[in-house]
């Protein structure tokens, strides 16, 4: 597909370079650096699933656990044909930094299955999900490793994982396992506000940036890549500030309208048709023109490596708010910095999802049910505090915000390792 950007570099190489830059600058203890440079466990499972027509297909799934010194492993599950061990390693590592920046008691993990869910029926996806959960077995668990949604996975898939996991536990322990997964439907033990949490977090961090810069969000223009969970919610919540969505791209294509696209109306259209490409209240756009859109804010909310040495020069914005994980590669990052385009880095900007996952986990453990106001106000507080830590660290070290975000995370991890020591 012409407007489908390809993966351009190995994302784990990017994570390692980002880590090294921050570790050098903050002078991370060399012994602790050795530990954090490695993932802890890498689980690969190959498993058979019966298709609707009776054939058997083999699938490969992964769960990478990067670090759990701050708490249980935590991170999403992705269903996508580009999922491989390196991508999952990178995503797991980012989760460790994210939880550490926000100050929640979780470590980092990520998982996924390498397949294209568009090519399978709902019944097949359910069987693939259940068989993957079974294959992972006790490598996940409510106090050990807690998955959540990511690209092409949703609350329904989380409910199937919950049901499969508890079905494999002894009967008297089943009710104590609801927190094995977060991002569940609310009726199945999910939290209010988890569906919009990542997009909400993106908007809270943009609000803080706007306050700092004395930038008025009312009337500001923005464009969004990816109109799934993160992109659609970020778009809808930006509308509440009176900001104007002027272009959107998803896997089906890109569209734009200078007078603005109504995110609620587009969301209803996408839920019905599966993509933005044929939305009649906007005109189609090629990928290069989409990336060149003149606007105040760009919110990448799709996949990795979209802002690269080829595309970073095209951007015509003052802020990139990274809803996606790893949307900017190393060269893209350098170009944005040279061009003085502000960046709210992924490990800060999209942390709203893991925060409300933490709230869901807490509610399940305590048999509580919080109202939406409580969830939102606690989320905002944690994100604003993290934003301020990153901003102040960037100032202190005279560095870019991504490196500053890493330094905030690494300092916390370094402190805990020093306090606990290394066994034996
Ligand atoms: P999703 O599956 O709900 O949506 C993904 C969107 O990206 C879809 O609109 C899809 O069409 C689009 N897309 C896919 N390939 C594309 C391409 N090549 N070009 C343009 N658009 C493309 O996924 P999501 O949960 O919204 O996740 C999006 C990003 O946000 C990912 O990087 C994910 O890791 C990150 N993230 C998600 C959460 C969460 O809570 N879901 C939390 C933190 C970070």
229 is in an annotated binding site: yes
CB atoms within 10 A of CB 198: 30
Pairing outcome for strands 342-344 and 319-321? parallel
Q: How many Å apart are CA 232 and CA 275, to the nearest integer?
A: 11
Kindly report the CATH number that applies to the domain delimited by 38-185: 3.40.50.10860
Q: How many Å apart are CA 80 and CA 92, to the nearest integer?
A: 16
Q: How many Å apart are CA 273 and CA 266, to the nearest integer?
A: 10
pLDDT of residue 182: 98
> From the CA of 32, how far away is ligand 1's center (Å)?
32
**Two tokens at 172?**
């008297």
Listed residue (140, 155, 142) closest to 191, CA to CA: 155
Q: Is the CB of 5 under 6 A from ligand 1?
A: yes
**Two tokens at 200?**
């909400």
Each residue's pLDDT tens digit, 185-227: 999 999 999 999 999 999 999 999 999 999 999 999 999 999 9
Averaged over 148-163, what is the pLDDT?
Answer: 98
Element (H, E) at 44: strand 41-50
Each residue's pLDDT tens digit, 13-38: 999 999 999 999 999 999 999 999 99
Query: Residue 250 CA: which ligand 1 atom is closest?
Result: 21
Locate the domains of the chain by residue range.
Answer: 38-185, 197-347
197-347 is classed in which CATH architecture? 3-Layer(aba) Sandwich (3.40)
Query: What confidence category does residue 1 fall into, taking pLDDT thresholds of 50, 70 and 90?
Result: very low
Partners of 299 in beta bridges: 224
Mean pLDDT of the chain: 96
Query: Residue 5 CA: which ligand 1 atom is closest?
Result: 18
> From the CA of 325, how far away is ligand 1's center (Å)?
9
Look up 110 and say whether it is catalytic.
yes
Each residue's pLDDT tens digit, 45-98: 999 999 999 999 999 999 999 999 999 999 999 999 999 999 999 999 999 999
Q: Would you say the CATH fold of 197-347 matches that of 38-185?
A: yes
Question: Atom 23, ligand 1: which residue's CA is nearest?
Answer: 151
Averaged over 304-317, what is the pLDDT?
Answer: 97
Listed residue (420, 361, 267) closest to 74, CA to CA: 361
Q: Is the CB of 273 under 6 A from ligand 1?
A: no
Q: Tokens 């470590």 map to which residue?
A: 107
Q: Is the CB of 303 under 6 A from ligand 1?
A: yes
Q: What is the DSSP letter of 219?
A: T
Q: How many Å apart are CA 249 and CA 268, to the nearest integer?
A: 16
Question: Atom 43, ligand 1: which residue's CA is nearest?
Answer: 350
Q: Is the CB of 301 under 6 A from ligand 1?
A: yes
> From the CA of 155, how far away is ligand 1's center (Å)?
15
Query: What confidence category does residue 108 fall into, taking pLDDT thresholds of 50, 70 and 90?
Result: very high
Q: How many Å apart are CA 95 and CA 101, to the nearest integer?
A: 10
CB 354 within 8 A of CB 102: yes
CB 114 within 8 A of CB 147: no
Task: Please report, rounded to a whole number, the percentage of residues in the chain having pLDDT higher than 90.
Answer: 97
Query: Residue 325 CA: which ligand 1 atom is closest?
Result: 32
377 is in an annotated binding site: no
74 is in an annotated binding site: yes
Question: Atom 18, ligand 1: which residue's CA is nearest?
Answer: 4
98 is in an annotated binding site: yes
Averaged over 282-293, what is the pLDDT?
Answer: 98
Considering the candidates 110, 184, 196, 244, report the single residue annotated as catalytic: 110
**Two tokens at 344?**
């709210």
Q: Is the CB of 136 under 6 A from ligand 1?
A: no
Contacts of 106 (CB under 8 A, 6+ apart): 70, 71, 72, 73, 74, 95, 99, 146, 354, 358
198 is in an annotated binding site: yes
């Amino acid at each position: 597909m012409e407007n489908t950007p390809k993966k351009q570099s190995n994302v784990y190489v990017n994570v390692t370079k980002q880590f090294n830059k921050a570790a050098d600058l903050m002078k991370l203890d060399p012994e602790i650096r050795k530990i954090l440079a490695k993932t802890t466990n890498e689980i690969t499972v190959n498993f058979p699933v019966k298709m609707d027509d009776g054939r058997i297909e083999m699938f490969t799934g992964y769960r990478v656990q990067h670090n759990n010194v701050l708490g249980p492993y935590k991170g999403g599950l992705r269903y996508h044909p580009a999922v491989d061990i390196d991508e999952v390693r990178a995503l797991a590592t980012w989760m460790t930094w994210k939880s550490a920046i926000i100050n929640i008691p979780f470590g980092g993990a990520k998982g996924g299955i390498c397949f294209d869910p568009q090519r399978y029926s709902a019944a097949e996806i359910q069987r693939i999900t259940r068989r993957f959960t079974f294959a992972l077995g006790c490598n996940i668990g409510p106090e050990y490793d807690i998955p959540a949604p990511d690209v092409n996975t949703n609350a329904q898939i989380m409910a199937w994982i919950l049901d499969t996991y508890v079905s494999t536990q002894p009967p008297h322990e089943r009710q104590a396992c609801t927190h094995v997964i977060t991002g569940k439907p609310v009726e199945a033990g999910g939290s209010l506000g988890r569906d919009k949490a990542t997009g909400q977090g993106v908007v809270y961090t943009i609000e803080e940036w706007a306050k700092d810069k004395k930038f008025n969000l009312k009337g500001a223009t923005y464009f969004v890549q990816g109109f799934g969970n993160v992109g659609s919610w970020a778009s809808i919540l930006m509308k509440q500030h009176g900001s104007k969505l002027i272009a959107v791209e998803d896997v089906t294509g890109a569209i734009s309208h200078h007078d603005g696209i109504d995110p609620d109306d587009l969301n209803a259209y996408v839920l019905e048709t599966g993509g933005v490409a044929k939305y009649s209240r906007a005109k189609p756009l090629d990928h290069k023109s989409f990336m060149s859109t003149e606007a105040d804010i760009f919110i990448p909310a799709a996949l990795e490596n979209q802002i690269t040495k080829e595309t970073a020069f095209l951007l015509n914005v003052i802020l990139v708010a990274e809803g996606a994980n790893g949307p900017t590669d190393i060269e893209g990052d350098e170009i944005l910095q040279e061009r003085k385009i502000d960046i709210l880095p992924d490990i800060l900007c999209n942390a709203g999802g893991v925060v409300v996952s933490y709230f869901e986990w807490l509610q399940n453990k305590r048999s509580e049910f919080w109202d939406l106001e409580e969830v939102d106000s606690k989320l905002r507080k944690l994100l604003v505090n993290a934003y301020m830590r990153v901003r102040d660290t960037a100032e202190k070290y005279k560095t870019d915000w991504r490196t500053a975000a890493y330094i905030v995370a690494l300092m916390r991890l370094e402190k805990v390792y020093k306090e606990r020591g290394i066994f034996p």
